[in-house]
Copies of this chain bind each other. A is one copy, B any other.
Amino acid sequence: MNQRPPVPERLLAAAADLFARDGFDAVSVRRITSRAKANLGAITYHFGSKEALFHAVIDRVGAHLADRFVSIAAEKGAPLERIGRIVTMVLTEPNLPAPTMILRELAMDRPLPPPLVQMMQRNMGAMMGLIREGQADGSIRAGDPALLAMSVMAQPFLLRMASRIPRDIAGVDGNDPSTQRKLVKHVVTTITRSLAS
């Protein structure tokens, strides 16, 4: 019959969901093990500590996001077009906790988890590569690729949380599909204009 996933896998899934939503400090070990239907000691046994589990979660979701960045960057198309596809992916892909977790960790006054730094390195590497390629072919303006890359990512990372902003402030209902398309179009247009030569 169908076996349920092993305990470490269930812990990772439960922790990913809870850490993504509420952050490291607000999520307890008991809450994770309860969600995973595992024993209280399972986290310490399999991962060593709550913090180690947190790092394993970031490694998992971070690798997923970085893989998406790198894979879209490797597709065919003009650099600006591929940048648009990455931005669209960040804005529209469901179950993508990494952007929110990055922002939250950046907003905390504590060392960045190493797996998060690794993810950022890959993301920035992919984005900077596209920017350099566009600068080489003349489609993207001159400028520091790292700064341009950070500017590019700022908007989708933050506007991905647009649904959190009351609609009378945001001007859009972030949960409505047609306004999500409008948001995507807006962000892609804005980024393209700021990069174009």
Q: Are B186 and A194 in contact (CB under 8 A)?
A: no
Closest Cβ of chain B to A147, distance in Å, is: 4
Total copies of the chain: 2
- In the complex the two chains form, what is the Cα distance from A26 to B27 in whole Å? 11
A2-26 CB mask vs B (1 if < 8 Å, else 0) is: 0000000000000000000111011
Contact of A190 with B by CB under 8 A: yes
5 A-B pairs within 8 Å (CB atoms) are namely A23-B108, A106-B164, A121-B169, A144-B186, A154-B154
> Which 7 interchain pairs have the tightest Cβ spacing?
A146-B171, A25-B25, A21-B109, A194-B194, A104-B107, A154-B158, A25-B26
Q: Are A150 and B121 in contact (CB under 8 A)?
A: no
Query: Number of A residues contacting the other chain (C-beta, 8 Å)?
Result: 52
Q: Are A112 and B154 in contact (CB under 8 A)?
A: no
- In the complex the two chains form, what is the Cα distance from A7 to B144 in whole Å? 48
**Which residues of the other chain, B, contact A191 by a CB distance below 8 angstroms?**
194
Q: Are B164 and A150 in contact (CB under 8 A)?
A: no
- In the complex the two chains form, what is the Cα distance from A121 to B154 in whole Å? 21
**Which residues of the other chain, B, contact A162 by a CB distance below 8 angstroms?**
150
Candidates B26, B151, B158; contact of A150 at CB < 8 Å? B158
Closest Cβ of chain B to A181, distance in Å, is: 12
Closest Cβ of chain B to A156, distance in Å, is: 9
Closest Cβ of chain B to A94, distance in Å, is: 15
**Which residues of the other chain, B, contact A171 by a CB distance below 8 angstroms?**
144-147, 150
Given the known interface contacts A117-B169, A169-B117, the answer about A110 and B22 at a Cβ–Cβ threshold of 8 Å is yes
Q: Are A169 and B25 in contact (CB under 8 A)?
A: no
